[in-house]
Structure 1
């Protein structure tokens, strides 16, 4: 199977590495020339339970170089979805399938509008990854499950073939007949830790040793469960404690959430698609979500402070360069 990972950052490289090692023609597509150059020159260095190793991978900054593929796995940040798929149309052939494994809710509709709903599959993965340096990632695959499915809940030949490819690569993958519920199950895990680590800047080891933060996490997840229930979503997770435990399962104490990683890179986060989604769905179905609303607001404040500091630094740099 010819596969392209659209948005081969930390998680994309972890999944792409597994698929490459399994013998699939897997392309890692990323905008960062430094990241792509490092992988082309030295291979993709993967640190996991077995140690570290370099994997020969195909990497590019250009969809045109890759050409049409059988499967596009979308792993760009939520707020880049529309622009990313618009710039990747060269990946689409007559039978190309587009699978979103992104965090949060709403990406499937964006992709469907761009490429046609008939091409789109939805999915969620609990695989973890951290980008240590250009061309180098820490991988968290063991014990982490991935779920994929057709938007209408049917079990098609194509979704079964993709699941088989993933499973053959050591990516434990299940076909879901209730993908909306699956999306919500993963959202609950993101709600459990994402915003809290972004606001506090704590690693998992630090977060999970603070009882007050656990209490806040459980309250946020409980709100999300109430919203999903009111919306008629069939959840696989029914207890906040389960989401809290799933978030860290199999990951080291040094692990940082994707939300915290984004902030450390000076980027905005996916908060609008995670806690923000809970708040919007809550408003739609008449369910109060004060904890999620507070976490969402605080994260927007963190992003604002970061943007203002970047502006201040840029202004200071320009003033310094303008001096005679």
Structure 2
């Protein structure tokens, strides 16, 4: 059966194109009419260092979708998860599943709408950007991980993993998808901090002035994960042990150096957060991505002053009340000191 990819932007477009190239039947859904029209007219063009191709696949707007599907890959911005899940639910087969190819803890939202039994967790860390209607840049390989929310194995999970191997031969099947998702929250919080400047991701991680700030922020989010009984997982140079209490400076520096090296290899120099602020001039995912960290910390008694301040600072940038500046990093660090 066809695989429905709901959200044909950076992540969804890259995965969908890879699956089409592997011989799978893919249908793209997107809410940007110009993007849908371009894909139907001339195919989806993928540029970048991994592969360059134009793949042919059907594309439609959400209101044009017909039929029900066993597998729907949801790849929209976190703030659109609820609306997108409600829109796709009528098209999900009774025993089908929604796979969250997103950043954040969107599985919590999805399972409340379609049910936990029809939700599969997914973690991705490859680089990609939507460039213009009909064109996506697949910038660099990164982790692709899938797992059942309860950590159990299943026939459908094995089948999904086999499918994703056709996109990335290093795709991982895990019994601890929450560990990867929370690990990405630590890394993701740091990426939001890098978006306070105009420097690239790699340059921010390499900057000796920024490193203490990024480390403290990572340790704050890591403390919430640990108190929530989450065993965070390593990926692409990110080592959760480097952001644990008492971590040696050597271990911290090694993880930061490894993340610099990983990001230097990608054609994606800046985060999607920075692109939203600097180029696309639109709201970021800051509240749905980082908000759950603050909320969880509040519930279990772990203070998150840096994360809370970072959310406010990104919103100020969205509102045009703050500019890109290295001084923003120092202001972020002061939040922890004030607390």
Q: Tell me, yes or no, whether TM beats 0.5.
A: yes
- Secondary structure at the residue paired with 2:317? helix
Q: 1:199 aligns with which of 185, 196, 201?
A: 196
The root-mean-square deviation of aligned C-alpha atoms, in Å, is 2.3
Indicate yes or no: 2:295 matched with 1:280.
yes
Aligned to 1:239: 242
Tell me the TM-score normalized by structure 1: 0.86
CA distance, structure 2, for counterparts of residue 33 and residue 232 of structure 1: 43
Give the CA deviation at 1:279.
2.1
Q: 1:221 aligns with which of 218, 223, 226?
A: 218
Tell me the TM-score normalized by structure 2: 0.82
CA distance, structure 2, for counterparts of residue 243 and residue 185 of structure 1: 14
> Where does 1:126-205 land on structure 2 (aligned, <5 Å)?
126-142=125-141, 144-170=142-168, 172-193=170-191, 195-205=192-202
Whether the aligned pair in 1 keeps the contact of 2:205 and 2:259 (CA below 8 Å) is no
Aligned to 1:316: none
Aligned to 1:249: 262
Aligned to 1:294: 309
CA distance, structure 1, for counterparts of residue 178 and residue 62 of structure 2: 32
- Secondary structure at the residue paired with 1:239? helix
Kindly provide the CA deviation profile for residues 26-48 of structure 1, in whole angstroms up to 9, marking residues without a partner as x.
11111011111111222111112
CA distance, structure 2, for counterparts of residue 65 and residue 294 of structure 1: 41
Q: Cα–Cα, structure 1 residues 169 and 51, in superposed 2: closer, same or farther, change >3 Å?
A: closer
Give the CA deviation at 1:210.
3.0
Aligned to 1:319: none
Whether the aligned pair in 2 keeps the contact of 1:7 and 1:28 (CA below 8 Å) is yes
Whether the aligned pair in 2 keeps the contact of 1:204 and 1:248 (CA below 8 Å) is no
Aligned to 1:311: none
Q: Cα–Cα, structure 1 residues 18 and 306, in superposed 2: closer, same or farther, change >3 Å?
A: farther
Q: Cα–Cα, structure 1 residues 102 and 171, in superposed 2: closer, same or farther, change >3 Å?
A: farther
Whether the aligned pair in 1 keeps the contact of 2:205 and 2:256 (CA below 8 Å) is no
Give the CA deviation at 1:176.
1.3
CA distance, structure 2, for counterparts of residue 158 and residue 51 of structure 1: 29
Q: Cα–Cα, structure 1 residues 11 and 247, in superposed 2: closer, same or farther, change >3 Å?
A: farther
CA distance, structure 1, for counterparts of residue 20 and residue 40 of structure 2: 14
Kindly provide the CA deviation profile for residues 119-177 of structure 1, in whole angstroms up to 9, marking residues without a partner as x.
011111012211121111110353x1211111111010001100001102325321211
CA distance, structure 2, for counterparts of residue 222 and residue 169 of structure 1: 33
Aligned to 1:318: none
CA distance, structure 1, for counterparts of residue 306 and residue 314 of structure 2: 12
Give the CA deviation at 1:73.
0.9
CA distance, structure 1, for counterparts of residue 285 and residue 209 of structure 2: 24
Gaps of 5+ in 1: 308-324
CA distance, structure 1, for counterparts of residue 57 and residue 209 of structure 2: 43
Gaps of 5+ in 2: 234-239, 244-251, 323-339
Give the count of matched residue pairs. Answer: 304
Whether the aligned pair in 1 keeps the contact of 2:18 and 2:166 (CA below 8 Å) is no
Whether the aligned pair in 2 keeps the contact of 1:11 and 1:129 (CA below 8 Å) is yes
